[in-house]
Every structure is written in structure tokens, then in C-alpha cells.
Amino acid sequence: MRPNLVAANWKMNGSRADNQRWLQEFRAAPAHCETVVCPPFVYLQDLVQGLVGTAASVGAQNMSDRVAGAWTGEVAAEMLIDSGASWVILGHSERRAAYGESNEIVAAKVERALAAGLKPILCVGETLEQREQGRTQQVVAEQLQVVLQRCPAAQLLAGAIAYEPVWAIGTGRTATPQQAQAVHAAIRSQLAAQDPGAAVAMRLLYGGSVKPANARELFSQPDIDGGLIGGASLVAADFVAICAAAAR
């Protein structure tokens, strides 16, 4: 069975004081599933230190597709590893929509992350308009295909894929377990067309308004292997409860 994975995406939230309070609560109730915490870049090392002795890993929320050099404001994969991160979220819909990250840029970042030894959480998902037009499967398949052309599924296995319907992110409007399961199953068959073994082993996370109250039902779907948690991950007790729902 695929081990569930739950990742916290703090987005642009937190402060050193908030983070210490969060760590205190999180450490008091250790998670019983594989866990990754993704704070803003500047707090990576604090989280790495704060999570010593727990089973949780640390990840970044983005990175450059370049190796090093004159790219003002960018952060390289090797720098993330040097800071103690082992994961990186790539292609989040907020990066795609607000910072113009195309499928090609996301694919280049995934390739760079894998080359550096980081585990990518590749995010895919449709907007409300695309869903209403009946284009969900097509949009998600395109987002994944561009990555698969550069990075075979067997390589992506180092990380995970997160299906996050854009209309469910931060809106309190979760996809129903059936809606999420349908897209997860489609992603898995797309992977299977390239590599059946990798498709079976790939962890597919759901993201979009996951809360303690709906986590268990979502994670009990056959093709949902954990979650990428935004808002609810900022409250340590809620994140711990979501991790508990993912414990098998």
C-alpha cells in the first residue's frame, strides 16, 4: 500500500514567534504519517532545527529553474538542500496564476529539482471556469503531460503529485471525495500509460480546503494518498488532526 503523505503549505504566512508556537504544539503531538512542512524560504532553517527529532521533513514552496548565478531574487535547488530542505512544492496554482508559471516553466523546475536531489510535489488543477466547461481532465492531463515529457514517471516517484482544484483552494469549498477521486484515478491512468509500475507507486495528494472534518473521507478514497494543506496547516492542532486522519 502507498504510505500516505501530508504536506503543510504555509504560503506567505508566519513569523519567527508564530513558528515557534506552532513547533511547540506540533512536537507535543507527533504525526503518525509521513509529513512535510513547507514554510517561506526565510524560515526553512528554523523549521529544520525545530523539527529535529520528529519524523517530519521540510520543504520549500518554490525554487528557480536555473542552477546559479545572476538571477536576482531567485533561490536555487542546491540552496534549499543546503538549508536542510528535502522537498519542494512546484507548479502551485498561485504561482501559475499570479506569477505566470507556464506548464513549461513548471516542468523545467521539476527537472531541476530532481537533478539536484529534491523531492518535488507537482501541483496540477483546473479553474472553476475550466471545470464548468467540462475541461477538467483535459487541463490536468496537459499540465502533467508537459512534465512527463521531461521527467519520466519513474523519476517523479521520488516526490508526489498534488491535485488541487483552483476553485477549492482557500475557499472552504472542498471537492467532494468523488470529484477528487475521479481526477486522481485519471491521473493514475495517465501515469500508467507511460509506466504502470510507477503509476501504482505514485502518491497522489489532494489539496483544496482540507480540514480535520473532511480529511478522513477524502483520504479513504482509493487513489488519494494524503493531502497538501494550506489554511488548516497554520493551526498546529488542525494539521496534527489531518495527519492523524491520514495515518493508516
Give the residue numbers annotated as catalytic, written as ranges.
Answer: 92, 164
Asked if 212 contacts 239 with a C-beta cutoff of 8 angstroms, the reply is no
Instruction: Indicate the residue among 59 and 231 with the shorter CB distance to ligand PGA.
Output: 231
Asked if 19 contacts 10 with a C-beta cutoff of 8 angstroms, the reply is no
| Residues within window 4-33 making contact with ligand PGA, judged by CB under 6 A | 9
Give the whole-angstrom CA distance, residue 101 versus residue 115.
20
Beta bridge partners of residue 205, listed in sequence order: 162
Instruction: Indicate the residue among 146 and 228 with the shorter CB distance to ligand PGA.
Output: 228
Give the whole-angstrom CA distance, residue 233 versus residue 242.
9
Which of 140, 169, 205, 224 binds ligand PGA (CB under 6 A)? It is 169
**170 binds ligand PGA, rule: CB under 6 A:** yes
**231 binds ligand PGA, rule: CB under 6 A:** yes
What residues have CB less than 8 Å from 1, skipping those under 6 apart?
A: 248
CB of 165 to ligand PGA, least distance (A): 10
Give the whole-angstrom CA distance, residue 164 versus residue 152.
21
Among the listed ranges 58-66, 108-116, 186-194, 224-232, the one in contact with ligand PGA (CB under 6 A) is: 224-232
Provide the sign of the torsion angle of the four alpha carbons 30, 164, 205, 60, taken in this order: negative
Give the whole-angstrom CA distance, residue 92 versus residue 90.
6
Which of 80, 118, 229, 240 binds ligand PGA (CB under 6 A)? It is 229
CB of 244 to ligand PGA, least distance (A): 17
* Listed residue (54, 42, 9) closest to 234, CA to CA: 9
Which of 65, 126, 164, 225 binds ligand PGA (CB under 6 A)? It is 164
Instruction: Indicate the residue among 57 and 209 with the shorter CB distance to ligand PGA.
Output: 209
Position 229: which residue type?
I
Binding-site size for ligand PGA (CB under 6 A) equals 13
Binding residues for ligand PGA, rule: CB under 6 A, are: 9, 164, 169-170, 207-210, 228-232
